[in-house]
Amino acid sequence: MSVEPIIRVRNLVKRYGELVAVDAVSFEVAKGEIFGLLGPNGAGKTTIISILSCITSPTSGSASISGIDVVTDSLTARSRIGVVPQEIALYATLSARENLMFWGRMYGLRDRTLARRVDELLDVVQLSDRASNRIDTFSGGMKRRINIAAGLLHRPDVLFLDEPTVGIDPSTRRSILDLVKKLNTEGLTVLYTTHYLEEAEFLCDRVGIVDKGKMIAVGTRDELTESIGATGVIEVRADGLDDAVVDWLASLPEISQAARSDDGLTLNVVRGANLLPTVVDRLTSSGVDIHSVDVTVPNLESVFLHLTGKRLDEENDENNRRD
Amino acid sequence: MKALHIALKDLRMRLRDRNTLVMMLLLPVGMTAIIGFAFGGESGISTVEFLLVAPEEGGFLVDAAAGFLSQHELFDVERASEEEARRAVADGERSAAVMIPEGLVDSFLSGTPAEVRVLRDPASSIKAGIIQSMVEQVVSSVSAGSALGRGVFETLDKDEPLSDSEQLALWGWMFMWMRDAWTEPPVSLDTADADTVDFDVHAYFAPGFAVLFLLFTMLTSAKTIHEERESGTYGRLMAAPLSETSIIAGKMLGSYVLAALQILTLIALGSLFFGIEWGSHPGATVVMALVTAAGATSLAMLIAAAARTGRQTDNVGTAFILVMSLLGGSMWPIEQAPEAFQRFGRFTFNYWAHGGFKKLIFDDAGLAGITQEIAIISAMSAVFVVLAVLLLARRRA
Ligand SMILES: Nc1ncnc2c1ncn2[C@@H]1O[C@H](COP(=O)(O)OP(=O)(O)OP(=O)(O)O)[C@@H](O)[C@H]1O
Ligand SMILES: [Mg+2]
């Protein structure tokens, strides 16, 4: 990258007492990119975004937006950034238009310019007909869309989207992803956090994988999947798995990682086209009841598995159960 | 400018909320009306009837006391037996009965304790209160006289014992003197009875409830800082290009305007519904209202700043406001409390706020008459705001 990156993060650290929520994270995002931060619950994604949007100050390290330091020149930096928080940060008893007018004013927009921009964005998120209804009468997906619109009013250089599809139905989710894509093609740089790997794969030019505060890998999808050296993935859905059989599989030279999930097993395969019969044999002979077997190419899930020894959705499930 | 928009946004949200309006206006007006009923239309008292139970042979002391108690045109006193008096008070025919024991003069001369009792009808507490305070005045001056007299006698007795006739002559002289003092007090206290003559229950309690509910409204206003934190809008404000000072200033401004609206509306409603005359200096009343609004806003902001969550703000704040209102006399006549209690009350915002309005209403004070209240509430507000801002700044991690 020869041009100055629009987001530059260097050695960012954030401690909450003993807990290191962000642990020496560094990355850069080029203008026009969609950059994904992928990681399980509690990985530190929101904390990174909070520091970049000047809501939280870092313990150490630095971050800049278009060359403007977010700590020392935060007022200027903030005017370049659009923020879409993870929660619906809107006033429930105000209408969609009232909310957008208010947030526009907070970014210094006024009068005709403001009114016109609000109408424009209501149109973009397809809620013009509901503009004067209160936010608390909206569905989850509609709230999410206004939440995004509120981050776009001042035409920011870069948009931070923090898990904007949590808790909504698949079709709304799809429409939000399409909206982000569309905004990106119009020139907006996007920093997008998620714990859904399909979203990261579908949307992002490059992905940073975050776990326990650390950025454990950065790159395009292909770079990341190639980096683990696996040529294939075997997904088994089965009952009656035990640790012994999983350990035995993991010890095979052809298998780089084996991880159990709620309903089965995922194996990262390094080489050996004829591995499948061996695996199936071994499983059936130890009494495992196989429902299905899938052979696929490596994806970001395989990368996460390779790097952490855990499945991403398993992590999420665990954390969700804890919540 | 952005602070102004935050204030306007808050105002719009609060005024749109029906609960806010109920708490702001309906409850204080309702409470004032209920208290008015509870005191049984005693507002605008013209006469206070009571019974005097005294021994026939009570002597000059009883006559003097009875004379004093009935001298004012406000009082209508009749003699009765103890039995009649008890029945009349219990039935609510009379507000109170004053019972003077046998041998009061002897006790008086010898200095042994005697008990004058006031039997009160609880349903008529204001009239009974007036009588009680009159009796207290008489009793305390009689006690003082007795102590003084015995002191004089002892001194005279030391040199040369006084004969009986000399003693009687001396007592007689002292009583003449005391009675004169009662009828025309050489030192006139700011007599409570002058106020109570046209005691207006609504006018007394309306400002108290206004202050109390002003604090409640402000508490729910200040709580929105936590609500905004919890809903994420505070974070979104922090991510916008404006200083946190502007955010806090905006929230305080919105609260303050709401407080001013509330207290001024309550004053207007008080006149409308209860015919309260808030003094004849409208300028002073408005200044008092605006200063009171500032006090309530900043106090509530401090409570919210000290609390960790919205819920805690509610719980701690409500308890705090109720205790302060009790101590400061927002809900009952603190004038009837012992001096020591009243001294505690002076530490509360409620005491001074209610006190200022009472001066406007009952003493017809102008701006000059309430400078103390204004100064104290302003100083309190300044301290509260500074503490609140410090606490809020510290919270920012
Ligand atoms: N204000 C705070 N005080 C203390 N700890 C915090 C605070 N904010 C975040 N943390 C901790 O920092 C860690 C990272 O949290 P963060 O919200 O950044 O995770 P995340 O990746 O956004 O997770 P999720 O997917 O659930 O949103 C967590 O362990 C969290 O408990
Ligand atoms: Mg998060």
DSSP label at residue B336: G
| Helix axis angle, B244-274 to B282-306, nearest 10° | 130
pLDDT at A168: 84
Cα–Cα distances (Å) from B296 to B32, B237, B289, B331, B393, in that order, read 20, 25, 11, 16, 21
Between B12 and B142, residue with greater pLDDT: B12
pLDDT at A272: 66
If you average pLDDT over residues A55-65, what whole number do you get?
A: 94
Between A283 and A102, residue with greater pLDDT: A102
pLDDT at B84: 85
pLDDT at A137: 96
What's the mean per-residue pLDDT of chain B? Answer: 82
What are the tens digits of pLDDT across the range A212-241?
999 999 999 888 888 877 778 888 898 888
CA distance B250 to B390: 16
pLDDT band at A20 (very low <50, low <70, confident <90, very high): very high
pLDDT at B197: 43
In this model, does residue B46 exceed pLDDT 50?
yes
DSSP label at residue A130: G
Burial label, A25 (beta-carbon count in 10 A; 0-12, 13-18, 19+): buried
pLDDT band at B68 (very low <50, low <70, confident <90, very high): low
CA distance A253 to A272: 9
CA distance A196 to A66: 28
pLDDT at A13: 96
What are the tens digits of pLDDT across the range A137-164?
999 899 999 999 999 999 999 999 999 9
In this structure, whether the domain defined by B48-183 belongs to CATH 3.40.1710 is answered with yes
ipTM: 0.85
Q: Which of B241-255, B258-272, B325-339 has the lowest mean pLDDT?
A: B325-339
Candidates B227, B243, B81; CA nearest to A74 is B243
**For a pocket test of ligand 1, which of A12, A22, A47 has the largest count of ligand atoms closer than 8 A to its C-beta?**
A47
- Residue identifier of the C-alpha nearest atom 12 of ligand 1: A21
Sequential DSSP letters for B143-206: HHHHHHHHHHHHHHHHHSPPPHHHHHHHHHHHHHHHHHHHHS-SS----HHHHHHT--HHHHHH
Residue B269 Cα, ligand 1 centroid: separation in angstroms? 50
CA distance A39 to B204: 64
Residues in chain B: 397
Share of chain B above pLDDT 70, in %: 82
Q: Please give the structure tokens belonging to residue B262.
A: 């509330």
If you average pLDDT over residues B120-133, what whole number do you get?
A: 73
In this model, does residue A116 exceed pLDDT 70?
yes
Nearest to A83 among B9, B17, B236 (CB): B236
Q: Which residues of A touch B (CB under 8 A)?
A: 16, 50, 53-57, 75-76, 78-79, 81, 83, 85-94, 98, 102-103, 105-108, 150
pLDDT at B72: 61
If you average pLDDT over residues B345-367, what whole number do you get?
A: 92
Atom index in ligand 1 nearest the CA of residue A14 equals 12
What are the tens digits of pLDDT across the range A66-80?
999 999 999 999 999
pLDDT at B193: 41
- Residue identifier of the C-alpha nearest atom 26 of ligand 1: A41
Candidates B297, B133, B279, B256; CA nearest to B206 is B279
CA distance A234 to A87: 36
Please tell me which residue of chain B has the smallest CA distance to A79: B241
pLDDT at B47: 65
Q: Which of B142-146, B328-332, B375-379 has the lowest mean pLDDT?
A: B142-146
pLDDT at B21: 85
Determine the distance from the C-alpha atom of residue A150 to the mean position of all C-alpha atoms in its chain, rounded to a whole number. Answer: 20
CA distance B97 to B117: 8
Find the radius of gyration of the CA atoms of chain B: 27
Report whether A178 contacts A166 (CB < 8 A).
Answer: no
Report whether A57 contacts A69 (CB < 8 A).
Answer: no
Q: Please give the structure tokens belonging to residue A212.
A: 């326990």
Between B157 and B316, residue with greater pLDDT: B316
In this model, does residue B191 exceed pLDDT 60?
no
For residue B49, give every residue at least 6 positions away whose Cβ sits within 8 Å of its Cβ, in sequence order, or none. B75, B76, B77, B78, B94, B95
Between B177 and B187, residue with greater pLDDT: B177
Report the gap between the CA of A83 and the closest CA in chain B (Å). Answer: 7
Q: Where in chain A is the domain with CATH 3.40.50.300?
A: 7-219
In this model, does residue B195 exceed pLDDT 50?
no
Residue B83 Cα, ligand 1 centroid: separation in angstroms? 78
pLDDT at B165: 76
If you average pLDDT over residues A85-109, what whole number do you get?
A: 96
Q: Phi/psi at A7 (nearest 5 deg)? A: -120, 130
Q: Please give the structure tokens belonging to residue A44.
A: 């530190």
Q: Phi/psi at A159 (nearest 5 deg)? A: -115, 130
Residue type, B78: E
Q: Where in chain A is the domain with CATH 3.30.70.100?
A: 229-322
pLDDT at A72: 93
pLDDT at B307: 95
pLDDT band at A305 (very low <50, low <70, confident <90, very high): confident
pLDDT at B321: 93
pLDDT at B202: 86
Which contacts of A283-288 are long-range, i.e. CB under 8 A and separated by 24 or more positions? A283/A236, A283/A238, A283/A241, A283/A245, A286/A242, A286/A244, A286/A245, A287/A240, A288/A238, A288/A239, A288/A240, A288/A241, A288/A245
Beta-bridge partner residues of A7 = A29, A65
Nearest to B13 among A81, A89, A94 (CB): A94
DSSP label at residue B335: G
pLDDT band at A2 (very low <50, low <70, confident <90, very high): low
pLDDT at B395: 74
Nearest to A85 among B5, B236, B243 (CB): B236
Across A125-283, the runs of DSSP E, i.e. the strands, are 158-162, 189-194, 206-211, 214-219, 232-239, 255-261, 264-269
pLDDT band at B179 (very low <50, low <70, confident <90, very high): low
Contacting residues of B for A85, CB less than 8 Å apart: 232, 235-236, 239
Ligand nearest to the CA of A45: 1
Query: Using CA of residue B269, residue B270, residue B273, residue B275, what is the dihedral sign?
Result: negative
Q: Is A39 in the pocket of ligand 1 (CB under 6 A)?
A: yes
Between B188 and B208, residue with greater pLDDT: B208
What CATH number was assigned to the domain covering residues A229-322?
3.30.70.100
**For a pocket test of ligand 1, which of A14, A45, A216, A315 has the largest count of ligand atoms closer than 8 A to its C-beta?**
A45
Q: Which residue has 């026939």 as its token pair?
A: B56
Q: Where in chain B is the domain with CATH 3.40.1710?
A: 48-183
DSSP alpha helix (H) spans, B275-334: 282-306, 310-328
CA distance B96 to B86: 9
CA distance B361 to B287: 14
**For a pocket test of ligand 1, which of A12, A13, A19, A320 has the largest count of ligand atoms closer than 8 A to its C-beta?**
A19
Contacting residues of B for A91, CB less than 8 Å apart: 9, 13, 233
pLDDT band at B54 (very low <50, low <70, confident <90, very high): confident
What are the tens digits of pLDDT across the range A173-215?
998 999 999 999 999 999 999 988 889 989 999 999 999 999 9
- Fold entry, domain A7-219: Rossmann fold (3.40.50)
Highest mean pLDDT among A290-304, B17-31, B105-119, B354-368: B354-368
Q: Which of B57-61, B119-123, B148-152, B374-378 has the lowest mean pLDDT?
A: B57-61
Cα–Cα distances (Å) from A195 to A37, A260, B9, B169, B185, in that order, read 8, 19, 35, 104, 87
Strand A189-194 relative to strand A158-162, pairing: parallel
For residue A174, give every residue at least 6 positions away whose Cβ sits within 8 Å of its Cβ, in sequence order, or none. none
- Residue identifier of the C-alpha nearest atom 24 of ligand 1: A41
Q: Is A316 in the pocket of ligand 1 (CB under 6 A)?
A: no
